[in-house]
Chains A and B, each alone.
Chain A
């Protein structure tokens, strides 16, 4: 296949100006940056963020290309470093604002640096006008890859990084070549060469210089093709070697393993796939994948089906979080004569969570689980098909919940901070006349059930409104998170200690009686702390009428098609493969462009054969310091009939070797023919 795209800087064309960055360099860096930015988006499961950055990078690259093309090397172009620095400062100071601009969900707090780096890549591409700034783009890109790698939420980042590496290697090599070309020009080589050849000084210097170097002192260079080949070997070595390295350092690293703050990889992921975050926002519309995908298997000897993965006590601005003293009320100490029931839970998908049906008495499976302060558990090995067997405390059915536990008013479970007044009023009205705490809790649940409808497709709460208040009095429909939040806030308003809990509520059982926990079983509920029964579940969703088509248990996958499997995987791999192929293609084109050509290579081989023939005839290797003529002279006595032909060949070889004249097809063929002839004569 012959590539002929001079506008791209590829293939056969008029001699190119190789002293400046050209289209190929812009393409390489935009592909590399785009791979980094796309990976950043995918790390938070937000392809639209990745695409947004990619679009910006494409526009920025086009802009830079136009600037370079039309402004050449003017003073304005030389300000690119200053502009890049200014942009860096601007992005640092405005990271929060810029993060909010991003479509979909912005980067979460632990990944705020990714927002900075992503924006740096995107905005930086507008001012990459010279080698310095163009290559500097590699810095935010590598940092971004490193950050994504730390959080390990996008496994394909490795392949994206390899694609980036190929682009980077080719780009660096080309930039190095430009530096060398500049040095060659400064060394006075061309001027002297012109003087020697009596050529006019008006020759286009850069082009002429490059052509002369390529066929002269740079003929044997390990150039961009070596850079690309090195990068490919590096990629291969990494693919093969990284697991070995990881395994070999595991024993050492195991002693001081550092936990990285977990990142919720996005609103559209499977609820099983990510670790429950420290902060949970509610009322954000259909934002969780609720499909029939099985995520856990659960079997129990008891009655409890509510499986907890996250517990929260502090409410502010539509968000639940965990107060430092959240562990104060964790544990079975409030349950009177608790039952100990055995249960088992098996993960069907990779997940750091281990949902539990209550406070845990003991684990009977290998102890790699970590207990969180509020009583939930995390696994350090999130692989699928891990099964855990444990014993949980369950409330004794002999005792009913009647009175709430009297907690200190300072306890976060009783905090009435940030409860909207209208919600508190609504709660107080609802419990008027109730005699016991249990009755109060029931009335609150009923009031919620009467006030609102359940709708799994309910829209998001506007940013300027409290989700609970909006849910109860304006939208009047919602799903589990706002139901549970309303219940907790209202309970606290009337003095009951309550907490917000997330987890799974499975319905379906298999033939063996095991519950199959599906994605769509992801749920939230309220728990109120009662004397004798401990934390008691109040799920108001059961009492509310459901909007048609919005019932609980409906499959709800709000993701666009490109985020659903298998399209997501195909797209991911496709983009990375296209990136790698593009980088490879550009590198290959570069290689072709720099090659001295097959004829020259054949010529070199022919000369090698000639030298070997003379060495055999002479019985000694050629000395380093021997010129071709001296070498021939010392071998002449051993050449017999071939002496004259060898002298002729030597003359023709020397003419080509020591000049920049191209090797013609005719010259090459005649040399090869004469070489065969010489071989016969020497024999």
Chain B
């Protein structure tokens, strides 16, 4: 603007010094534009794999940049056009780099994904400026696609386990008192919420701090998790999603059960790899949970009907729901005759979306489940902010 103003005034009043100054400013701005334009041309981008991350983890995206021209460039930055569905925070600018001829120069940026899912993107916007930083130019570039799997973050939850074969005595619990199976496995440091009955007093006296006994779950213990994925069952409001909450809870429970030696199944989601270690199994489960959506035509009751016969005797089937399924009680009643305990995990849809038409925590639905001889668990809807 200044250069244009000077040029116009110079022409109007024909003052020689204004011509010099106007020309200088024009040349400066013109040169800057040219340099910025050149800065974003003749570049190639190779993406490095991103892999997977948990919700809230810092993800680093790395891109290698090559220059096709043997020229020195001002610094450039990149900005990925991330999928709309990918919610994130703490997005950093990319590392400014000066692309070089013949050599890849790596840039990176970071962000924290807020929702689980599998995301894929390929477009990025490269921004270059002149060496003075006066002018910036942008160019959209399409690259090889990159994929990011955001697995749910385990959300701790305290849950009363039912009496069942393999789960031992009634104090078998999960949550903060996890590890309370029937066969002692070892001792660990006391955590808030641990039952005082499990304190190993001798060891505590020796160590000078409270230690508790940890128990192994029974060797026949098996848990299966079924998630309601009927279309419209994921209640979403802004960043909150009932399916995300369910996945976080179930991943936590799965981790607890696996560490106790129980078998954990997610029927219809991930096959159980018999020889995998606990961390490997958790990765499998996490990735499976990352991709689920409420896209199934069939109601969860039909899934229960289909799965119950396949579960071993004494298993516990956790069925998580956000919206009521009128046939579920019936399906459960039929399955219990086969010695499988069904525990409905009920989520209140109205906590997320107050105008939701129906919720799994509606008293009529809960009552129908109780009548089917189950002990429905009303799941906590709040997530402790520990990120």
| Segment touching A, from B81-89, B105-113, B141-149, B209-217 | B105-113
Residue B219 interfacial (CB < 8 Å) = no
If the complex has contacts A146-B6, A146-B18, A187-B110, are A222 and B12 also in contact, measured as CB distance less than 8 A?
no
Docked pose: A249 CA to B14 CA in angstroms: 9
Contact residues, A174-203 vs B (CB, 8 A): 175-176, 179-180, 183-184, 186-189, 192
Are B24 and A161 in contact, with the CB atoms below 8 A?
yes
* Residue count of chain A within 8 Å CB distance of chain B: 68
Query: Which residues on B sit within 8 Å (CB–CB) of A246?
Result: 10, 14, 16, 19
Q: By CB atoms of chain B within 10 A, which of A183, A192, A220, A223 has the most? A: A220
Contacts of B68 in A (CB 8 A): 624
* Bound CA–CA A252/B7 (angstroms): 14
Closest A residue by C-beta to B98: A221
Residues on the B chain within 8 Å of A192, using CB: 60, 108
Q: Is A173 an interface residue (CB 8 A)?
A: yes
For chain B, residues 343 to 378, give those with C-beta under 8 angstroms from any C-beta of chain A: none
Residue on A nearest B2 in the bound complex, by CB: A142
Contacts of B292 in A (CB 8 A): none
8 Å CB contact of A238 from B9, B27, B93, B106:
B27
CB distance from B232 to the nearest CB of A (A): 39
For residue B237, CB closer than 8 A to chain A, the reply is: no
Docked complex Cα distance between A152 and B18 (Å): 8
* Interface residue stretch chosen among B129-137, B163-171, B198-206, B273-281: B129-137
Chain A residue nearest in CB terms to B107: A217
Which residues on the A side are within 8 Å of B28 (C-beta)? 165, 169, 230-231, 234
Number of B residues whose C-beta is below 8 Å from A?
A: 60
A226 at the interface (CB under 8 A from B): yes
B-binding segment of A101-109, A117-125, A253-261, A266-274: A253-261
Residue A172 is within 8 A (CB to CB) of chain B in the complex: yes
**CB 8 Å contact bits of A265-296 with B (1 = contact, 0 = none):** 00000000000000000000000000000000
Q: How far is the CB of B367 from chain A (nearest CB, A)?
A: 53
- A227 at the A/B interface (Cβ < 8 Å)? yes
**Given A169-B28, A187-B95, A233-B31, do A217 and B2 touch, yes or no (CB 8 Å)?**
no
Determine the residue in chain A with the shortest Cβ distance to B70.
Answer: A608
Q: Is A579 an interface residue (CB 8 A)?
A: no
Q: Which of B6, B19, B131 contacts A176 (CB 8 A)?
A: B131
What is the CA–CA distance of A55 and B282 in the complex, to the nearest angstrom? 71
One of B5, B27, B92, B129 near A187 (C-beta < 8 A): B92
Q: Which of these, B15, B23, B110, contacts A245 with CB under 8 Å?
A: B23
Question: Which A residues touch B72, using CB under 8 A?
Answer: 220-222, 226
B100 at the interface (CB under 8 A from A): yes
Decide if B75 touches A218 in the complex (CB within 8 Å). yes
1/0 per position for A210-237, CB-CB distance to B under 8 A?
Answer: 0000000111111110110011011101
Q: A146-B5, A176-B132, A217-B107 are in contact. Are A161 and B98 (CB under 8 A)?
A: no
Q: Which of A151, A162, A239, A253 contacts B12 (CB 8 A)?
A: A253
Q: Name the residue on B nearest A259 (C-beta).
A: B13
Contact, CB under 8 Å: A149 / B15: yes
Residues in A whose Cβ lies below 8 Å from that of B66: 624-625
Interface positions, chain A 530-547, Cβ under 8 Å from B, are none
Docked pose: A218 CA to B12 CA in angstroms: 45
A243 to B18 alpha-carbon distance, docked (Å)? 11
Shortest distance between the CB of A47 and any CB in chain B (Å): 18
Q: A175 CA to B93 CA in the complex, in Å?
A: 17
B13 touches A258 (CB 8 A): yes
A669 to B73, CA, bound (A): 29
B44 touches A624 (CB 8 A): yes
B17 near A175: Cβ-Cβ < 8 Å: no
A250 and B14 contacting across the interface, CB-CB below 8 Å: yes
| Bound-state Cα–Cα, A548 to B16, Å | 46
Q: Nearest-CB distance from B110 to chain A (Å)?
A: 5
- Verify B105–A217 contact, CB threshold 8 A: yes
A161 to B72, CA, bound (A): 28
**For residue A218, which residues in chain B have a CB less than 8 angstroms away from its CB?**
75, 96-98
Residue ID in chain A nearest B6 by CB atoms: A146
**In the complex the two chains form, what is the Cα distance from A622 to B66 in whole Å?**
14
Contacting B at CB under 8 A, from A586-641, are: 611, 622, 624-625
**A155 CB within 8 Å of chain B:** yes
Taking CB atoms, residues of chain B closer than 8 Å to A227 are 130-132
B31 contacts which chain A residues (CB < 8 A)?
230, 233-234
Q: Is A377 an interface residue (CB 8 A)?
A: no
How many angstroms between the C-alpha atoms of A422 and B22 in the bound complex? 55
A218-B75, A230-B131, A238-B24 known; A611-B102 Cβ under 8 A: yes
State the Cβ distance, A366 to closest chain B Cβ, in Å.
18
Answer whether residue A145 sits at the interface, using C-beta atoms and an 8 A cutoff. yes
CB <8 Å contact, A148 and B23: no
Q: How far is the CA of A642 from the CA of B17 in the complex (A)?
A: 63
B117 CB to closest chain A CB, in angstroms? 23
B35 within 8 A of A: yes
Task: Confirm or deny: A242 has a beta carbon within 8 angstroms of a beta carbon on chain B.
Answer: yes
B248: Cβ under 8 A from any A Cβ: no
Q: Are A179 and B95 in contact (CB under 8 A)?
A: no
Inter-subunit contact B106/A234 (CB<8 Å): no
Q: Which chain A residues lie closer than 8 Å to B96 at the CB level?
A: 180, 183-184, 187, 217-218
Query: B98 CB to closest chain A CB, in angstroms?
Result: 4
- A187 pairs with B94, CB closer than 8 A: yes
A138 to B21, CA, bound (A): 14
What 0/1 readout, one digit per residue, does chain A (159-173) give for beta carbons within 8 Å of chain B?
001100100010011
Interchain CA distance A536-B22 in the complex, whole Å: 49
Interface membership of B154, Cβ < 8 A? no
Q: Are A155 and B17 in contact (CB under 8 A)?
A: yes
For residue A421, CB closer than 8 A to chain B, the reply is no
B298 within 8 A of A: no
Please state if B20 and A223 are interface contacts (CB–CB under 8 Å): no
Whether, in the assembled complex, B103 has its beta carbon less than 8 Å from a beta carbon of chain A, the answer is: yes
A221: min CB distance to chain B, Å: 4
Say yes or no: A187-B108 contact (C-beta < 8 A), given A157-B17, A231-B28, A235-B24: yes
1/0 per residue B273-303: CB within 8 Å of A?
Answer: 0000000000000000000000000000000
B77, CB-defined interface residue at 8 Å: yes
Check A242 against B20 for contact (C-beta < 8 Å): yes
State A231–B58 Cα separation when bound (angstroms). 42
- Cβ-based interface call for A662 (8 A): no
B75 touches A180 (CB 8 A): yes
B335 at the interface (CB under 8 A from A): no
Q: Is A150 an interface residue (CB 8 A)?
A: yes
Q: Does B74 reach chain A (CB closer than 8 Å)?
A: yes
User: In the complex the two chains form, what is the Cα distance from A227 to B73 in whole Å?
Assistant: 11
Q: Is the CB of B92 within 8 A of A220?
A: no
Contact for B21 among A161, A188, A256, CB less than 8 A = A161
For the complex formed, measure the closest distance between the CB of A311 and the CB atoms of chain B, giving whole angstroms.
26
Given A186-B93, A242-B23, A150 and B44 touching (CB < 8 A)? no
Q: Are B131 and A217 in contact (CB under 8 A)?
A: no
Chain B, Cβ-Cβ closest to A176: B133
Instruction: Please determine whether B17 and A249 come into contact, CB atoms closer than 8 angstroms.
Output: no
Q: Across chains A and B, which 5 residue pairs bring their CB atoms closest together, nearest first?
A: A176-B133, A221-B98, A149-B18, A238-B24, A187-B95
Question: What are 19 A-to-B residue pairs whose CB atoms are below 8 Å?
Answer: A149-B15, A150-B15, A151-B15, A155-B16, A162-B20, A176-B133, A186-B93, A187-B107, A187-B110, A188-B108, A222-B98, A227-B132, A234-B24, A239-B20, A241-B23, A242-B20, A242-B23, A253-B12, A260-B13
- 7 further A-B contacts with Cβ under 8 Å, apart from A184-B95, A222-B73, A230-B130, are A142-B25, A149-B15, A155-B17, A169-B28, A169-B132, A187-B107, A256-B12
